[in-house]
Structure 1
Amino acid sequence: MKVTGIWVYPIKGLCGIPLHNARLGPEGVQYDRRFMLFKVKENGDLQKLQLDRFPACSRFVPELVGDDIHVRYMPPEVPLVPWCPEQSVVLRVPLDPNLSGLDKQVINLHQALVNAYRMGDSFDKWFTACFGFETIFFYIGDERRPVLGTNSPRSQPMVAAAPPTQGWLPYLYSYIWGGYNYVWGGRDQRQAEPDWLAFADMAAYLVVTEKSLRNVNARFSNTDNAVDIVKFRPNVVVDGEVDFDEDFWAELSIGGRPVLALTKLCDRCTSLNVDYDTGRFGEGEKGTLLKKLMADRRVDRGAKWEPVFGKYAFLVDGLDGADVSVGDEVAVTRRTAERPAADWAYTDKTIARFYRYS
Structure 2
Amino acid sequence: MKITAIWVYPIKALRGIPLHNAHLGPQGVKYDRRFMLFRVGEDGELAKIQLDRYPECSRFIQEIVADEIHVRYQPPRDPLVSPCPEQSVVLRVPLDPDVSGLDRQVINLHQGLVDAYRMGAYFDEWFTACFGFPTVLLYIGDERRPVFGTFSPRAQPAAPAAPPAKQGWLPYLASFVWGDQHEPEPEPDWLTFSDMAAYLVVTEKSLSNVNARLSSGPVDIVKFRPNIVVDGEGEFDEDFWAELSIGGRPTLAMTKLCNRCTSLNVDYETGRFGEGEKGMLLKKLMSDRRVDTGSKWTPVFGKYGFLVDGLDGVDVSVGDEVVVTKRTSERPVWDWPYKDKKIARFYRYT
Letter in 2 for 1:95: L
CA offset at residue 190 of structure 1?
A: 4.4
SS at the partner of 1:38?
strand
Asked if 1:216 corresponds to 2:210, the answer is: yes
Superposition pairs of residues 275-314 of structure 1, within 5 angstroms: 275-314=267-306
C-alpha distance after superposition, 1:123-152 (max 9, x if no partner): 000000000000010000010000011101
CA offset at residue 41 of structure 1?
A: 1.4
CA offset at residue 199 of structure 1?
A: 0.1
Task: Give 2:261's aligned residue.
Answer: 269
Match 1:192 to one of 180, 186, 195: 186
Task: Give 1:125's aligned residue.
Answer: 125
CA offset at residue 356 of structure 1?
A: 1.0
**TM-score, normalised via structure 2 length:** 0.91
Identical aligned residues as a percent: 77
Partner Cα separation in structure 2 for residue 90 and residue 343 of structure 1: 41
Task: Give 1:160's aligned residue.
Answer: none
Partner Cα separation in structure 2 for residue 255 and residue 322 of structure 1: 10
CA offset at residue 46 of structure 1?
A: 1.1
RMSD of equivalent CA atoms: 0.8
Task: Give 1:322's aligned residue.
Answer: 314
Partner Cα separation in structure 2 for residue 305 and residue 312 of structure 1: 18
- 8 A Cα contact 2:114 2:145, kept in partner: yes
SS at the partner of 2:129?
helix
Task: Give 1:67's aligned residue.
Answer: 67
Partner Cα separation in structure 1 for residue 273 and residue 58 of structure 2: 10
Partner Cα separation in structure 2 for residue 22 and residue 148 of structure 1: 27
Partner Cα separation in structure 2 for residue 35 and residue 45 of structure 1: 18
**TM-score, normalised via structure 1 length:** 0.89
C-alpha distance after superposition, 1:32-54 (max 9, x if no partner): 00000000112222111111000
Task: Give 2:170's aligned residue.
Answer: none
Asked if 1:344 corresponds to 2:340, the answer is: no
- 8 A Cα contact 2:266 2:272, kept in partner: yes
CA offset at residue 25 of structure 1?
A: 0.5
C-alpha distance after superposition, 1:76-117 (max 9, x if no partner): 000000000000100000000011100111000000000000
- 8 A Cα contact 2:8 2:29, kept in partner: yes
Asked if 1:260 corresponds to 2:252, the answer is: yes
Partner Cα separation in structure 2 for residue 30 and residue 357 of structure 1: 22
Partner Cα separation in structure 1 for residue 328 and residue 32 of structure 2: 27
Asked if 1:41 corresponds to 2:48, the answer is: no
Partner Cα separation in structure 1 for residue 293 and residue 50 of structure 2: 25
Task: Give the total of aligned pairs.
Answer: 323
Partner Cα separation in structure 2 for residue 139 and residue 99 of structure 1: 9
Task: Give 2:58's aligned residue.
Answer: 58
For structure 2, list consecutive stretches of 5 or more residues without a partner in the other structure. Answer: 156-182
Moved over 4 A (4+): none
Partner Cα separation in structure 1 for residue 216 and residue 58 of structure 2: 23
CA offset at residue 154 of structure 1?
A: 4.2
Task: Give 1:240's aligned residue.
Answer: 232
C-alpha distance after superposition, 1:149-185 (max 9, x if no partner): 1101247xxxxxxxxxxxxxxxxxxxxxxxxxxxxxx
Task: Give 1:175's aligned residue.
Answer: none
CA offset at residue 192 of structure 1?
A: 1.9
SS at the partner of 1:153?
coil
Task: Give 2:141's aligned residue.
Answer: 141
Partner Cα separation in structure 2 for residue 347 and residue 47 of structure 1: 15
Superposition pairs of residues 141-180 of structure 1, within 5 angstroms: 141-154=141-154
